[in-house]
């Protein structure tokens, strides 16, 4: 009986271990290193696990088409992030580019915000996500948020509160006991998305940054909140359009070509928002290190976790290098043979 890897499952190879991306059931499993060849499986327990989870199936068909990775989307800009800058210029910009997803960063819930959300609805925006930071969340604020989410069904909230609070949170609200910026740099399973669209996009693009722009509190438009590429002013959409080509490298470089992430088994599901930079060899890398070290398969805080530098992995503006022998020694100590 011949078995094959199920057509909607993908075996993603990492440095130390792999993941099976189960696109249909929107889930994943961590598996040992495997070359996708059924005949190469020596461990019967692993084979039985793959069968039980239906990651491999009997080959009853003459031919099974592989998943196509022909990703494309019609919009020039898909998502705009507005940092406390809600006015007619940004409405016109959204209209000019026909932008369908809008993220609003705000420190207050007031009439101006509600009026702006109403204007966005009239511009056929599909999804509005409000990122609201506040010291203390009380019942009156929760009521205001609740009213907005009831009146505007495509509007959701992420609320960042430092102090723990005991208020009851409505359905369309996600509560984070951290700041917006801490949350942004905190990479974990909360940033993993498993579905066909995310996978397609991840093979050709940076899924977080692709077709996304950021508007600062002064109305200046950049590629991201890290402001590494200036694109123009909200008053001048034509200039922004002509400058978008500058985002091409970041938008069109998938994680398979970014230092460290290229060796990570989570790279096709990870939507981390750090902005990649170019090192002196023109390779992309991240200045802030991820919470996960794919060379030893450990998350920060887990027993045995080490930073990249402690493992002999250097990724900075001068280039990228790996001390494979050092990593092998560390992994022998952590995981045995």
CA distance 141 to 134: 10
Give min distance, CB of 67 to ligand SF4, in A: 20
141/327 with CB nearer ligand SF4: 327
Rounded (5°) CA angle 157-101-27: 75
Give min distance, CB of 160 to ligand SF4, in A: 21
31/270 with CB nearer ligand SF4: 270
Give min distance, CB of 266 to ligand SF4, in A: 4
Give min distance, CB of 35 to ligand SF4, in A: 21
CB atoms within 10 A of CB 103: 17
Say if CB 113 and CB 139 are below 8 A apart: no
Q: What is the 3-state secondary structure (H, E, C) of 240-300?
A: HHHHHHHHHHHHCCCHHHECCHHHCCCCCCECCCCCCEECCCCCEECCCCCCEECCCCEEC
Give min distance, CB of 200 to ligand SF4, in A: 17
Give min distance, CB of 293 to ligand SF4, in A: 8
Beta strands in 23-126 (DSSP E): 27-31, 56-58, 79-83, 101-106
300/323 with CB nearer ligand SF4: 300
| Site residues, ligand SF4 (CB under 6 A) | 187, 255, 260-261, 264, 266-267, 270, 272, 290, 292, 294
64/197 with CB nearer ligand SF4: 197
Give min distance, CB of 290 to ligand SF4, in A: 3
142/264 with CB nearer ligand SF4: 264
Which DSSP letter does residue 188 get?
A: S
81/260 with CB nearer ligand SF4: 260
CA distance 32 to 50: 11
264/284 with CB nearer ligand SF4: 264
CA distance 137 to 165: 7
Q: Is the dihedral of CA 122, 125, 129, 132 positive or negative?
A: negative
Which residue in 199, 303, 308 sits closest to 254, CA to CA?
Answer: 199
């Amino acid at each position: 009986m011949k078995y094959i890897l199920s057509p909607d499952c993908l075996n993603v190879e990492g440095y130390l271990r792999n993941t099976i991306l189960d696109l249909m059931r929107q889930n994943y499993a961590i598996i040992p290193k495997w070359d996708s060849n059924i005949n190469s499986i020596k461990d019967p327990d692993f084979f039985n696990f793959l069968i039980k989870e239906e990651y491999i199936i009997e080959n009853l068909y003459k031919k099974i088409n592989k998943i196509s990775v022909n990703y494309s989307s019609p919009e020039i800009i898909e998502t705009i992030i507005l940092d406390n800058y809600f006015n007619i210029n940004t409405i016109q910009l959204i209209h000019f580019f026909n932008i369908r997803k809008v993220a609003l960063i705000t420190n207050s819930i007031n009439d101006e915000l509600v009026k702006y959300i109403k204007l966005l609805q009239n511009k056929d925006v599909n999804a509005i996500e409000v990122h609201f930071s506040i010291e203390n969340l009380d019942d009156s604020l929760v009521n205001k948020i609740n009213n907005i989410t009831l009146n505007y069904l495509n509007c959701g909230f992420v609320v960042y509160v430092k102090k723990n609070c005991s208020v009851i949170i409505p359905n369309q609200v996600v509560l984070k006991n951290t700041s917006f910026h801490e949350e942004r740099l905190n990479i974990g399973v909360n940033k993993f998305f498993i579905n066909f669209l995310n996978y397609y996009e991840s093979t050709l693009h940076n899924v977080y940054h692709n077709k996304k722009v950021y508007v600062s509190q002064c109305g200046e438009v950049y590629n991201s909140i890290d402001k590494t590429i200036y694109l123009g002013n909200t008053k001048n959409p034509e200039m922004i359009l002509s400058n978008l080509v500058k985002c091409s490298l970041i938008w069109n470089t998938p994680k398979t070509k970014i230092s460290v992430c290229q060796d990570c088994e989570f790279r096709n599901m990870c939507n981390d928002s750090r902005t990649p930079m170019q090192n002196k060899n023109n390779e992309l890398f991240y200045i802030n290190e991820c919470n996960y070290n794919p060379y030893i398969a450990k998350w920060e805080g887990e027993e045995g976790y080490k930073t990249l530098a402690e493992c002999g992995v250097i990724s900075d503006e001068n280039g990228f290098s790996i001390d494979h022998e050092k990593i092998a020694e560390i992994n022998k100590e952590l995981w045995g043979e």
